[in-house]
């Protein structure tokens, strides 16, 4: 029997077109791939929705929540077997991870996009969309969390990141690699995620700041953040999780103000840990109360902290959730 797949178009390059004269890429009224997809996809029954049409730099946690609600309603009303979301690639990994953390469903949920707009030579949108519908129709994709499918690769929402400004193989999972591939014959998984988390929140109002550490950094920016309405901060720290000594007063003041300070590494491989015992080293920062995150990149740790803060302000609970 044909699987019933919900396709949600949200905008992005996959639904845009290029002006032949100027080369400018702009949004269309609606996704131009809808008709072609319906013609080409015979293996699934499609329900196609377009709740909004936004370039992905316009997407906020409010839209992410809207997508989550949309999926939850369709699961209840339409007995769907899988979901594909088309999305701009700039913030695709954030929406995918938000859905991964907040949707309590074992259905295959796939997020996809395109690097070339719909009328460009070598446009990758239709191909990625059809590949994603294949993955969403696969029984093996159940229970693997939210997946990101582009360029014949299947990635987890947790590990995938956009690594190139324009190349169609931009989506990679540094350190871990994809968990499956899409071939001409079908969908093949060669790994499975080992854990899942779910925080079914409906409040996305917390203010969480993300900043990157650098050589010569001091407390100026940290002090400015401390004076703002701010519920949490994620810092892309140096190496294994260290900071210049001049930031220590700023970090201390944030922690004294009960603002959770979460560390990821600005290295795109590896996990931040409390290894070094020199001034500004991870050991000292952990003792001060900094929370070390388990391998997420900065933008995903920021979303996770925003989600966690909607459920608790307890520092230890937040620390435990980042240790998973
Ligand atoms: N700037 C575009 C967006 O994220 C890029 C893309 O979709 O590939 O909406």
Distance 205 CA to ligand 1 centre (A): 24
Q: Is 12 in the pocket of ligand 1 (CB under 6 A)?
A: yes
Q: Which of 24, 55, 171 to mutate to test the pocket of ligand 1 (most atoms within 8 A of CB)?
A: 55
Residues 244-274 have pLDDT tens digits of: 999 999 999 999 999 999 999 999 999 999 9
CA 124 from centroid of its chain's CA atoms: 20
pLDDT band at 1 (very low <50, low <70, confident <90, very high): confident
pLDDT band at 195 (very low <50, low <70, confident <90, very high): confident
3-state DSSP call for residue 166? Answer: coil
3-state DSSP call for residue 262? Answer: strand
Distance 85 CA to ligand 1 centre (A): 14
Q: How many CB atoms lie within 10 A of CB 209?
A: 19
Q: Which of 13, 33, 85, 162 to mutate to test the pocket of ligand 1 (most atoms within 8 A of CB)?
A: 13
Ligand 1 atom closest to the CA of 54, numbered from 1: 9
Q: Which of 88, 94, 114, 299 to mutate to test the pocket of ligand 1 (most atoms within 8 A of CB)?
A: 88
Distance 257 CA to ligand 1 centre (A): 37
3-state DSSP call for residue 309? Answer: helix
Instruction: Supply the pLDDT for residue 107.
Output: 98
Distance CA 304, CA 100 (A): 10
The single residue listed with the structure tokens 């191909």 is: 127
**Global pTM exceeds 0.85:** yes
Distance CA 276, CA 65 (A): 39
**Region 235-240 average pLDDT:** 98
**Region 224-252 average pLDDT:** 98
Instruction: Supply the pLDDT for residue 324.
Output: 83
Can you spell out the DSSP letters for 176-219? Answer: T--SEEE-SS-EEE------------------EEEEE--TT--S
Instruction: Supply the pLDDT for residue 318.
Output: 98
Q: Whose CA is nearest to atom 3 of ligand 1?
A: 88
Give the CA distances from residue 193 to residues 40, 138, 143, 147, 170, in Å, rounded to whole numbers and listed in that order. 31, 16, 9, 10, 21
pLDDT band at 30 (very low <50, low <70, confident <90, very high): confident
**What percentage of the chain exceeds 90 in pLDDT?**
97
Can you spell out the DSSP letters for 277-299? Answer: -STTSHHHHHHHTPEEPSS--HH
- Give the residue numbers annotated as catalytic, written as ranges: 13
pLDDT band at 29 (very low <50, low <70, confident <90, very high): confident
Distance 91 CA to ligand 1 centre (A): 8
Residues 121-164 have pLDDT tens digits of: 999 999 999 999 999 999 999 999 999 999 999 999 999 999 99
Mean pLDDT of the chain: 97
Q: Is 13 in the pocket of ligand 1 (CB under 6 A)?
A: yes
Distance CA 31, CA 53 (A): 8
Per mean pLDDT, which range of 25-39, 173-187, 202-216, 250-264 is the poorest?
Answer: 25-39
pLDDT tops 90 at residue 233: yes
Ligand 1 atom closest to the CA of 88, numbered from 1: 7
Instruction: Supply the pLDDT for residue 143.
Output: 97
Distance 90 CA to ligand 1 centre (A): 5
Asked if 225 and 209 count as a contact pair (C-beta separation under 8 A), the reply is: yes
Distance 14 CA to ligand 1 centre (A): 8
Q: Is 89 in the pocket of ligand 1 (CB under 6 A)?
A: yes
Instruction: Supply the pLDDT for residue 53.
Output: 97
Ligand 1 atom closest to the CA of 13, numbered from 1: 7
Q: Whose CA is nearest to atom 7 of ligand 1?
A: 88
């Amino acid at each position: 029997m044909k699987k019933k797949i919900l396709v949600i178009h949200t905008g992005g390059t996959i639904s845009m077109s290029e002006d032949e004269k100027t080369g400018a890429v702009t949004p269309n009224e609606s996704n131009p791939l809808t008709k072609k997809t319906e013609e080409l996809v015979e293996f699934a029954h499609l329900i196609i929705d377009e709740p909004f049409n936004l370039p992905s730099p316009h997407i906020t946690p409010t839209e992410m929540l809207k997508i989550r609600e949309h999926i939850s309603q369709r699961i209840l009303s339409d007995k769907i077997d899988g979901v594909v979301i088309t999305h701009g690639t700039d913030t695709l990994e954030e929406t995918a991870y938000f859905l991964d953390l907040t949707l309590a469903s074992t259905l295959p949920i796939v997020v996809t996009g395109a690097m070339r707009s719909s009328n460009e030579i070598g446009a990758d949108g239709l191909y990625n969309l059809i590949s994603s519908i294949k993955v969403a129709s696969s029984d093996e994709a159940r229970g693997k969390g939210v997946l990101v499918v582009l360029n014949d690769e299947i990635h987890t929402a947790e590990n995938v990141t956009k690594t190139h400004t324009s190349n169609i193989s931009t989506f990679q999972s540094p350190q871990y690699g994809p968990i499956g591939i899409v071939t001409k014959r079908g969908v093949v998984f060669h790994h499975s995620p080992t854990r899942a988390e779910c925080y079914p929140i409906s409040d996305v109002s917390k203010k969480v700041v993300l900043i990157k550490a650098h050589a010569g950094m001091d407390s100026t920016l940290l002090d400015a953040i401390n004076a703002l309405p701010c519920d949490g901060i994620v810092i892309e720290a140096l190496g294994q999780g260290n900071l210049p000594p001049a930031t220590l007063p700023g970090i201390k003041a944030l922690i004294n103000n009960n603002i959770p300070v979460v560390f990821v590494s600005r290295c795109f491989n590896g996990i931040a840990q409390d290894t070094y015992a020199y001034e500004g080293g991870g050991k000292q920062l952990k003792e001060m109360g900094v929370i070390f995150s388990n391998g997420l990149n900065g933008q995903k740790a920021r979303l996770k902290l925003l989600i966690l803060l909607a459920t608790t302000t307890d520092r230890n609970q937040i620390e435990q959730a980042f240790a998973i």
